[in-house]
Structure 1
Amino acid sequence: MNKQSKSIVANQVGRLVNTTDGDLAILHDISFEIERGESVAIIGASGSGKSTLLSLLAGLDLPTHGQIDLMGQNLNLLDEDGRARLRGQFVGFVFQSFQLLPHLTALENVMLPLEIAGDGQLEAKQSAEKWLEKVGLAERANHFPRTLSGGEQQRVALARAFINKPAILFADEPTGSLDEASGNKVIELLFELNRENSSTLVLVTHDPALAARCGRQLSLQGGRLA
């Protein structure tokens, strides 16, 4: 495969944080490649560095050493605004805590990525309505997050993540705060939408069943690839 076929390339990535006792290594020389359209689970015990690695892969933070290429772009060569533009163009996110804006309705939350990208309000509204229908929440479009169940909020978050058809979707414990039934519905929907959009899926999870649904697993132990 040539470089253009890669969604993500990590090369000798390490991350140190400063503590009162000196530098603490969170990640040690992590290297791997993820093909476009691939589904990959990052697994490991709590504190193994999973969420830190996801943050680096998405360009939310930079490694202390090593290099990450996201859609062919070296993140080290981009400033914060440049990385934000790259995420806006290629990346969608789903978080354990949903990250919905409480003062916006479900419809308005889903519209937000398109509005930020400069789409017209009517176009954004029509697209958001279609996505809420896809996730089975058309009748809840005008409800605020506080009136939705956890499973419903996560489905709104999925619609928001997929509305701009991201090349890469990052998911951080997407079912971690849901009961089993709601979590299973979200998992099915996540992989269904991912297949429909042919996007790359990178998810952090401690759930073996969810990890097993992915094409490949990367296991972290003490900040190293096992």
Structure 2
Amino acid sequence: MLTVSQLTKQVSTHTGGLTILNNINFSVVAGESLAIVGASGSGKSTLLSLMAGLDSPSDGSVEIDGNNLTSMDEDQRAEFRARNVGFIFQSFHLLTTLTALENVALPLELKGEKKAIDQAKALLEQVGLGDRLEHYPNQMSGGEQQRVAIARAFAAQPKILFADEPTGNLDTKTGQHIADLLFDLNASKGTTLIMVTHDLKLAARCGRQIELEAGQIKPSADASVEAANA
């Protein structure tokens, strides 16, 4: 499903070049759940953005379902994401001028789905927001907004779903509910799930974990990855 090969990301700073990621290699099979953990600044979110095609690497490649994202231009990557990739942000990234229903229906409408509203309504009911369809983001709690974001991410039935700290802005109880919902949808729809999280309990619920340290996979984690893929 996903193969990351020799992935490297470097940026220029006023003091010279800075390597954020260095020679990252691993693969994920279809339907698997993977957690990427590590201290702040270890490169987790950068890796997630590169895998989702939201950013371009300095070297190396990312392949999803046999498609090389790093050989695509920005427009091609955007088209590929619309058809194959879902993304859940820590800060929700809902459109404030749209209702919950409209937020979830939008990606379906962009794909030309004739029953976008009906599908969006069904998804919101599935995440427990059937009574909040016409509410705007500023009328909902953080947990409710994240549930809308999850429904939106699953709306286009992506082959792979990336989640960046999906419970990071939520209290413990709400975060637990969101995690349960995320894994339930992942299992029921067979979507490959890759998440970045500081929450080790949440990470432990994934099929396996990769730990980053200073832009590289820690040797112990790398060994487990190789063993899992053997």
TM-score by length of 2: 0.94
Cα distance in structure 2, aligned partners of 1:168 and 1:144: 27
Q: CA RMSD in A?
A: 0.6
- Tell me how many residue pairs correspond in the alignment: 218
Shift of 1:76: 2.0
What residue number does 2:135 align with?
143
Taking every aligned residue pair, what percent have the same amino acid on both sides?
Answer: 55
Shift of 1:159: 0.6
What residue number does 1:198 align with?
190
Cα distance in structure 2, aligned partners of 1:129 and 1:76: 35
Cα distance in structure 2, aligned partners of 1:144 and 1:158: 16
Q: Which amino acid aligns with 1:85?
A: E
For residues 36-77 of structure 1, what are the alpha-carbon distances to aligned partners after superposition, in whole Å with 9 as ceiling and x for unaligned? 100000000000000000000011111101111122111121
Are positions 1:25 and 2:19 aligned together? yes
Q: Which amino acid aligns with 1:59?
A: G
For residues 93-140 of structure 1, what are the alpha-carbon distances to aligned partners after superposition, in whole Å with 9 as ceiling and x for unaligned? 1111001000000000010110111223xx000001100100000000
Cα distance in structure 1, aligned partners of 2:96 and 2:64: 31
Cα distance in structure 2, aligned partners of 1:98 and 1:25: 28
Cα distance in structure 2, aligned partners of 1:180 and 1:38: 25
Cα distance in structure 2, aligned partners of 1:154 and 1:106: 11
1:38 to 32, 38, 47: 32
What residue number does 1:96 align with?
90
The 5-angstrom pairing of residues 120-199 of structure 1 reads: 120=114, 123-199=115-191
Classify the secondary structure of the residue corresponding to 1:138.
coil
Cα distance in structure 2, aligned partners of 1:91 and 1:65: 22
Moved more, 38-47 or 70-79: 70-79
What residue number does 1:117 align with?
111
Runs of 4+ in 1 over 4 A off after TM superposition: none
Are positions 1:219 and 2:219 aligned together? no
Cα distance in structure 2, aligned partners of 1:50 and 1:221: 9
Structure 2 residues without counterparts, runs of 5 or longer: 219-230
Are positions 1:16 and 2:10 aligned together? yes
What residue number does 1:70 align with?
64
Are positions 1:57 and 2:51 aligned together? yes
